[in-house]
Copies of this chain bind each other. A is one copy, B any other.
């Protein structure tokens, strides 16, 4: 179930997807969302767009969270990215989406039709540059994720994931995970059991705290850093 409203919404978020600090210029992408964005609400697990669907809008997360998923016929699932409030997604396809997007919890989005974006971008240099930068930041995110999936062990994946989430939510040492263990597993290319075991292992080592399964406290940041250190460059 999905509700559409047309009122412009003030931009309260921040672009965290790839550490890009987007300024708020007239004619920018952020401004376009605020001026012409359509409001949408998606229920938990609702599909925002399907794999293979025509890409006809781009989105900004207002509240909640989104996962980009690809499902194989025998049930394996990969989550290519998570999008949190402030993040923009859906640029990442030329014609058809190669991944589906789903709301993780109840999620509010702003959507702008591609026809509108495209028309504006022809005129407006700022907007074109914003779109370009976003596409590249998605590419960088994907490449970073490749490294994680290809060359890291379970501990390193979990550590990297927790640090990433903490950064993106500015959680000051504590992270409130919007997604379940299975989502994390499918994002990290692990099984749910390995995620669980690795989490408890980090907890028993005193590196993190787990007041509840969705709440993580980064207690020993240096230790976490040192887990990732070999991957730095």
Tally of chain A residues near chain B (CB < 8 A): 43
Max chain B C-beta neighbours (<10 A), residue from A137, A140, A144, A230: A140
Q: Which of B128, B133, B139, B231 touches A138 (beta carbons < 8 Å)?
A: B139
Inter-chain CA distance A73–B71, complex, in Å, is 34
Q: Which of B94, B150, B188, B230 touches A189 (beta carbons < 8 Å)?
A: B150
Q: Which of B72, B77, B78, B137 touches A230 (beta carbons < 8 Å)?
A: B72
A151 touches B78 (CB 8 A): yes
Inter-chain CA distance A133–B231, complex, in Å, is 31
B230 touches A149 (CB 8 A): no
B149 touches A150 (CB 8 A): yes
Interface string of A166-198 (1 = CB under 8 A from B): 000000000000000000000011000000000
Q: List 19 A-B contacts (CB under 8 A).
A: A72-B230, A72-B231, A72-B233, A73-B230, A73-B232, A74-B230, A76-B151, A76-B230, A76-B231, A77-B151, A92-B136, A92-B143, A93-B140, A132-B135, A135-B139, A138-B139, A142-B142, A146-B146, A149-B149
